Amino acid sequence: MLIFSVFKTLTDQQVTVELKNDLSITGVLKSVDQFLNIRLDNIKVLDEARHPHMMAVKNCFIRGSVVRYVQLPAEHVDTQLLEDATRREALTQVKR
């Protein structure tokens, strides 16, 4: 839930999603779900020349399981808040 909440606060921000097939896609984060599936608008494939496959695609849905990294805008991430939330989430996890 924690990471899901972080992504929800970043909707309408520009992010770059790197997939496990080495494709990198930059776009505006429109929505995210509990599986961390991502909807991006206004996408641009990095290294377009090698990947013309998506020339006609302007927005997409990316399955969470194929994501390797998401580069986030540092100025929109409150690291202190994140760390506090993580400590709290970690406490609730112990009771498994």
Interface residues with other proteins (CB under 8 A) are: 1-3, 6-7, 19-23, 25, 31-33, 36-39, 43, 50-74, 77, 79, 82-83, 85-87, 89-91, 93-94
- To other proteins, the closest distance from the beta carbon of 15 in angstroms equals 9
Q: Which two tokens stand for residue 8?
A: 């929800």
* Cβ burial 15-40 (10 Å sphere, 16+ → b, else e): bbbeeeeebbbebebeebeeeeebbb
Q: Nearest distance from residue 56's CB to other proteins, in Å?
A: 4
In angstroms, what is the minimal distance from the CB of 35 to other proteins? 8
